[in-house]
Amino acid sequence: MPSTIRAAVFREALQPLTIENVDLDDPIGREVLVRTVATGVCHSDLHYVDGENDLQGFSSAPSTVLGHEGAGIVEAVGDQVTYLKPGDHVVACLSVFCGTCEQCLSGHPARCQTPLRTRAQGLPPRVTQGGREVGQFVGLATYAEKMLVHENAVVKIDDEMPLDRAALLGCGVLTGVGAALNTAQVRPTSTVAVIGCGGVGLSVIQGARIAGARQIIAVDTFDSKLEMAKGVGATHTVNATNDDPVEAVRSLTHGKGVDYSFEAVGFTKLARQCMEMLGVGGVATIVGVMPTGAMHEFPHSALAGEKRLQTCSMGSNRFRFDIPNYIELYRSGKLFLDEMVSVTRPLDDINEAFRAMKAGEVARNVLTFN
């Protein structure tokens, strides 16, 4: 029996999401039906709502259920699922992996290109409304009371872990901590600068601290976020409204520049600043999602001295390996998640959650379901 559930639906850019009933099909094959317990509100969803990114490539339907940072409890599984059973607690991740391609087998499942985010052609869509297809953002659609996903889009976690904290591990924390530990591989005693102190940037700071960086410089335009940055491991802060971040970082590193810099917002201007604040041999990592069609422009000299610029997809995660490890780091007090959840709200408050995020009032909003 298909389930009718409430979900936050995107219809048009620059319009609020609307809470509507949609229908979820029953799980087939390797799919699992998960009752959503909590979902973080991530900036990437806001990029679509604000019209900075277009949803093409993710959804061709006239309306789409957004959300991609969810955790919940398995309700039902398809007949080919062996990894999970009803009652299991899970965190969802958009890095759905096949497990058999070259990228998966060489340790890079976040680069997997096998199309598992939607059902195969010819099968009925997973999400519908009045019989018409509704898009399922990145194969998850977590702003909904239930999610119907491929089993390789979730990791099983132990029942003791609070799901409103675990949800953050599905995107923001996975991406930020992974950017430091997996993508850039920050070394002990190194120096780091992070531009942007939202949920992802704060997680990069945490990853750099866990890796043993000796200096972590946080850059943002909100003092409130810089305070949060100090709370999770930044050793220095720069408010980019008052000070030029490149000069400030150079001065804090005695003119040398940092070993690692991270762009955690999604602006080309900030990516350039990341390169300009590097020391010789440094690595700049773009973590933020850039607007559709964004172009980079920088002088060759910005990368002279064997500096490198790289992108980062979802923290180069191996989420079934990383998320259980991050849960252990949370338990041992090394990874801060409680500090990252500024507020929990019901699904109906989704548009208010976006507003608060834009205003820099929160690290993470988490929506919870009863």
254 among known catalytic residues: no
42 among known catalytic residues: yes
List the x/- string, 54-93, binding to Zn ion by CB under 5 A: ----------------------------------------
Q: Which residue, 141 or 171, is less far from Zn ion as judged by CB?
A: 171
44 among known catalytic residues: yes
Pick the catalytic residue from 93, 171, 197, 312: 171
Closest CB 23 distance from Zn ion, rounded Å = 26
Say which DSSP state 125 is in: P
How far is the C-alpha of 351 from the C-alpha of 356, rounded, in Å? 9
Residue from the set 17, 74, 104, 283 that interacts with Zn ion by CB under 5 A:
104
Pick the catalytic residue from 44, 59, 63, 316: 44
Name the 3-class secondary structure at 122.
Answer: coil
**Position 112 contacts Zn ion (CB under 5 A):** yes
Closest CB 250 distance from Zn ion, rounded Å = 31
Q: Which residue, 109 or 245, is less far from Zn ion as judged by CB?
A: 109
- Pick the piece of the chain touching Zn ion (CB under 5 A) from 79-87, 100-108, 254-262, 341-349: 100-108
59 among known catalytic residues: no
Closest CB 275 distance from Zn ion, rounded Å = 24
How far apart, in Å, are the Cα atoms of 59 and each of 67, 139, 154, 353? 13, 10, 21, 23
Closest CB 5 distance from Zn ion, rounded Å = 21
Q: Is 15 exposed, middle or buried (0-12, 13-18, 19+ CB in 10 A)?
A: exposed
Residues in 26-45 at the binding interface with Zn ion, rule: CB under 5 A: 42, 44
Candidates 163, 136, 131, 134; CA nearest to 148 is: 136
Helix and strand tally (H, E) in the chain?
A: 10, 19
How far is the C-alpha of 155 from the C-alpha of 83, rounded, in Å? 9
Candidates 112, 143, 158, 124; CA nearest to 31 is: 124
CB of 264 within 8 A of CB of 192? no
Pick the catalytic residue from 43, 47, 89, 150: 47
How far is the C-alpha of 174 from the C-alpha of 119, rounded, in Å? 26
Closest CB 198 distance from Zn ion, rounded Å = 10
Say which DSSP state 138 is in: G
Beta-ladder partners of 156: 90
| Tokens of residue 256, six digits | 């040398």
> How many residues lie near Zn ion (CB under 5 A)?
8
Pick the catalytic residue from 68, 89, 150, 236: 68
Q: Which residue, 114 or 351, is less far from Zn ion as judged by CB?
A: 114
Closest CB 98 distance from Zn ion, rounded Å = 4
Phi, psi of 195 (to 5 degrees): -95, 120
CB of 127 within 8 A of CB of 134? yes
Q: Which residue, 137 or 330, is less far from Zn ion as judged by CB?
A: 137
How far is the C-alpha of 184 from the C-alpha of 182, rounded, in Å? 6
Closest CB 301 distance from Zn ion, rounded Å = 34
**Position 98 contacts Zn ion (CB under 5 A):** yes
How far is the C-alpha of 144 from the C-alpha of 17, rounded, in Å? 12
How far is the C-alpha of 61 from the C-alpha of 134, rounded, in Å? 6
**Position 171 contacts Zn ion (CB under 5 A):** yes
Compute the Cα dihedral for 348, 354, 360, 363 and give only its sign: positive
- Pick the piece of the chain touching Zn ion (CB under 5 A) from 167-175, 308-316, 318-326, 327-335: 167-175
DSSP string, 167-194: GGGGTHHHHHHHIIIIIS-PPTT-EEEE
Q: Which residue, 5 or 92, is less far from Zn ion as judged by CB?
A: 92
**Position 19 contacts Zn ion (CB under 5 A):** no
List the x/- string, 114-153, binding to Zn ion by CB under 5 A: x---------------------------------------
Q: Which residue, 66 or 275, is less far from Zn ion as judged by CB?
A: 66
112 among known catalytic residues: no
Q: Which residue, 256 or 355, is less far from Zn ion as judged by CB?
A: 355
Which residues of the chain form contacts with Zn ion (CB under 5 A)?
Answer: 42, 44, 98, 101, 104, 112, 114, 171
Provide the annotated active-site residues: 42, 44, 47, 68, 171
